[in-house]
Amino acid sequence: MFTGIVESLGKVESLQNVGGDIRLRIQTDLDMSDVQLGDSIATNGICLTVIAWGNQWYEADVSLESIHRTTLSSWKVGQTVNVEKAMLPTTRFGGHIVSGHVDVVGEITVQRQDARSLYFEVTAPPEIAKYLAEKGSITVDGISLTINHLRGNVLSLNLIPHTAERTNISTWKVGTRVNLEVDVLARYIERLLLGDKAAEHKPESKLSMEFLAQNGFLR
């Protein structure tokens, strides 16, 4: 679990196709002294499992499901990403409960200065609108943020100068695609409301041969 309070910035050092999925290497000044094999590090909001690491880098394998659900399929070498190690029981809980399991990809549709803060509007896929609430929490590229206003599936955010300095939002612009994770409690409440029908609910996978071909996994 994570808090959505970004600890450091990283850069994509390499993206290697391994057996059809991706092995990712991130360069970062994150303190890696207490990292062990199998630890989780949120990378732009994606929970990744560490398979190798050094003083200023770590590697992780990324499954097709994660590639499909997130912006990772469009990442480039040199891209800046937000990183956060998994929280400890003694960690000050400054954000909200973040699992690192990205729900959908949204798009920045408005960006402007708002006094000293930066104002953004993010258009989310309509299917997650039911999980969003004004003054509720959402994770955007691994950053725990408060939804200021909500208009259907369009949410507005204000980011203070401190957040701008500590994260990669300087790279955001109109058209930027971002990873979105809704509040974990909303997902469980929906599932509970299905009651006994939950066992009958079998959504189809959105993975397709077309998607795999478009992202270089088929030749």
The model's pLDDT over 110-120, given as tens digits with 9 standing for 90+, comes to: 999 999 999 99
- Compute the average pLDDT of residues 16-42: 95
- In this structure, what token pair is assigned to residue 199? 């066992």
8-85 maps to CATH 2.40.30.20: yes
- Compute the average pLDDT of residues 168-193: 91
The model's pLDDT over 38-69, given as tens digits with 9 standing for 90+, comes to: 999 999 999 999 999 999 999 999 999 999 99
pLDDT band at 207 (very low <50, low <70, confident <90, very high): very low
Domain boundaries, the chain: 8-85, 104-200
Question: What is the reported pTM?
Answer: 0.87
CATH for the 104-200 domain, from 2.20.25.650, 3.40.120.10, 1.20.1060.10, 2.40.30.20: 2.40.30.20
Distance CA 61, CA 209 (A): 21
Distance CA 149, CA 202 (A): 33
Is the fold of 8-85 the same as that of 104-200? yes
Instruction: Tell which residue, 87, 115, 99, 72, has the closest CA to residue 185.
Output: 99
